[in-house]
Amino acid sequence: MLQKLNFKPGFNKQATDSGAEGQWVDGDFVRFRYGLPEKIGGWEQLTVAQETLPGVARNQHAFTSFQGEKYVAIGTSQGLFLYYDEAFYDITPLAAQVSGTATFDTVQGSADCTVNLSSHGLEAGRYIVFNSMSVTPNGFTSSSTFTDGAFEIRDVTNNTFKITAPTVAVNPGGTATGSATVKPYEIVGPTFQTKGYGWGTYLWGDSTWGTARTVSNVVLDPGNWSLDNFGEVLVATVHNGKTFTWDAGAVTPRTIRASTTTTNFNTTNNPTASRLTLVSDRDRHLFHFGTETTIGDSSTQDPMFVRFSNQEDLNTYAPSATNTAGTFRLDTGNKIIAAIQGKDYVFCLTDQAAYVIQFVGPPFTFSVRQVGTNCGCIGQNAVSYANGAVWWMSAEGGFFVFDGTVKSLPCLVEDFVFSTDGDNLGINYGASDIVYSSPNALYTEINWFYPKNGSEQIDRCVTYNYSENVFTTSSLDRSSYQDQGVYPEPYATDYNSTETPVFAAISGLTNKYGASIYYCHEKGDDQVNSSGTTSIDAFIKSGDWDITSRRSALGQQTGVVDYRGDGEFFMSVKRFIPDFKYLRGNSQVTLFLNDYPDNAPVGSPLGPFTITSTTDKIDTRARGRLVAIQIANTSTGEAWRYGTFRLDAQPDGRR
């Protein structure tokens, strides 16, 4: 007897497989549209040279110049970079210079160069540029070999360090002496969110403050960026650090590094320590959240203090009767975590509460009202704006939305994301600051990328589809994500902690900080990058289905199929009829059989079954009390969208 199997959209991971009859319980790389599951789109590596960026990308922001040039700013743990016209550009701001008499030791046939610069104060792995050099190192024809690019330094002592030149010394090497000015890259922060160790890393007020620690309760925030644009000017703020600008309207913009002194946009009047910044869209104020009460004095940084500039002015922060600059302090929470531009308001989240900041004009400039408590945000980038609402992952566990009021989102994958009980993977709360959220407007989705328990970097994703009102989970691991808009598809970064970056602008790169690859998403069916084309192995699995035992008396009288006795009988599955809305290539269908809910399910003897576009039916030899269905693909060029299944199952005894 053929019976149609219908399943509700979304994943239910709160129930057992047996308790989730008629629902989907697991999957990877799938989404729902119109109530039906399908494999997600593929992704292809960006940039013509297939370069990768140094460090882990923590944020990105797309914007355009007044001339219509399209840019994406990408902030990594190691620097600030631009994606433009299928190439990367290095615009990382530089820190205070180190200068003095220097010697350069080279060896013919080697690209290694030892720089002797007394008391340079640099650490191994830091990136530097030579701002000036009065001598050309032996074996090289021009000092521009060293002054036209950047270098990662290694083998550091108090007075020396080594670099790798872009080419080898072709003439006899030796020692060259002259003067040199070195400018290191601005420090962004740790690649990983970690506990602090060493001197002074313990609780404030501890009686043994000066003792070096091997254990710690101090968590070091990961390197992060706030990225926004003021017209065609990029505004970039290092987390708990300085604010920089980069002007797309400059004559040769992509050769200019972000700076606190960019022409016409001097941000030296800005605070020097802010947790994050944001430009309010309609009224054009630059907000500093968790910033200094005294500008320029980082010791006065208050994690709940907010400062905003004069309207249409990035540099004026002192309030007066003739401007709209101002300050205020939020009162619920310990620190400001995140802020995002809403429809006509700025939405700010502390670790405990939610606030709406709305422009009202003189004399108060902004109204500030608390709209929610016990709904704090879990990380700086764990909030998205889409479909007229703000969506975020909470530090308390769960998901929230603000559409005029703060609401908790019902979630059938909540335990799986936030708990490690049973087979739930959970989140690594010790690395919660790296959670990254972004909408995917093409499919009405909000993604939250997060590290599972035990992971230091993002390796999981939970997705909410606000038009379907369903959650799914996956192993899609993107450290940052930019929705379509400036570009027609979403762009995202994937981090590999052991990979060496391929980035020509910095010589001698090692895998010390790993590398980020940049992908265009929703392209094709596969993963395409410098290593080739690989399959995106998607699957979806249902909860258990059982057969009823016999017809009721009413069913016998009317002839209506009306079996009773839920799960009482074993069943014999003779065949099934597949139904796909579309199918490219093949898919594999597996019937998982089980006698009792607590037993481990096993695949049917003849499965898995390969389905093609011409498959009419599949004969099976399957028997069990419970049966679950899995749909999957394992090869390149494959994609599918499920329709429904008809299963030929009949009672087959009690044991």
Cis before 601? omega within 30:
no
The pLDDT mean for the chain works out to: 91
| SS3 state at 452 | strand
At 200, which helix (H) or strand (E)? none
Write down the pLDDT at residue 207: 39
Instruction: Pick the closest to residue 291 from 339, 259, 247, 352 (CA basis).
Output: 339
Distance CA 342, CA 371 (A): 14
Phi, psi at residue 502, to the nearest 5°? -110, 90
Distance CA 623, CA 336 (A): 57
Instruction: Pick the closest to residue 106 from 142, 145, 139 (CA basis).
Output: 139
Distance CA 120, CA 101 (A): 11
pLDDT in tens, 536-563: 999 999 999 887 644 544 455 555 555 5
Instruction: Pick the closest to residue 74 from 65, 84, 496 (CA basis).
Output: 84
Question: Is the per-residue pLDDT at 82 higher than 80?
Answer: yes
Question: Is the per-residue pLDDT at 441 higher than 70?
Answer: yes
Q: For residue 558, what are the contacts with CB-CB under 8 A and spacing of at least 6?
A: none
DSSP state of 63: E
Question: Is the per-residue pLDDT at 1 higher than 80?
Answer: no
Q: Highest-confidence range of 219-228, 269-278, 553-562, by mean pLDDT?
A: 269-278
Write down the pLDDT at residue 25: 97
Q: What percent of the chain has pLDDT over 70?
A: 92
At 533, which helix (H) or strand (E)? strand 532-534
Decide which of 153 and 595 is more confident: 153
Q: Is 388 exposed, middle or buried (0-12, 13-18, 19+ CB in 10 A)?
A: exposed
- Fold that domain 98-184 belongs to in CATH: Elongation Factor Tu (Ef-tu); domain 3 (2.40.30)
- Rounded to two decimals, the pTM is 0.93
Architecture field, domain 2-41+538-651? Sandwich (2.60)
Write down the pLDDT at residue 246: 96
Write down the pLDDT at residue 453: 96
pLDDT in tens, 240-249: 999 999 999 9
Q: Which two tokens stand for residue 580?
A: 């796909």
Distance CA 354, CA 369 (A): 9
pLDDT in tens, 156-183: 999 999 999 999 999 889 999 999 999 9
Question: Is the per-residue pLDDT at 370 higher than 50?
Answer: yes
- 609-611 vs 8-11, strand pairing mode: unpaired
pLDDT band at 204 (very low <50, low <70, confident <90, very high): very low
**What single letter denotes the amino acid at residue 547?**
I
Of 263-272, 444-453, 586-595, 628-637, the poorest mean pLDDT is in 263-272
The arithmetic mean of pLDDT across residues 418-434, rounded, is 95
Q: Which two tokens stand for residue 84?
A: 């433009």
Distance CA 516, CA 507 (A): 17
Phi, psi at residue 326, to the nearest 5°? -175, 180
pLDDT in tens, 464-516: 999 999 999 999 999 999 999 999 999 999 999 999 999 999 999 999 999 99
Of 212-226, 392-406, 478-492, 635-649, the poorest mean pLDDT is in 212-226
Question: Is the per-residue pLDDT at 524 higher than 90?
Answer: yes
Question: Is the per-residue pLDDT at 587 higher than 60?
Answer: yes
Question: Is the per-residue pLDDT at 518 higher than 70?
Answer: yes
Distance CA 25, CA 644 (A): 16
Instruction: Pick the closest to residue 31 from 519, 468, 535, 637 (CA basis).
Output: 468
| SS3 state at 433 | helix
Question: Is the per-residue pLDDT at 203 higher than 50?
Answer: no
Q: Which two tokens stand for residue 215?
A: 């254990």
Question: Is the per-residue pLDDT at 200 higher than 80?
Answer: no
Question: Is the per-residue pLDDT at 404 higher than 90?
Answer: yes
Question: Is the per-residue pLDDT at 340 higher than 50?
Answer: yes
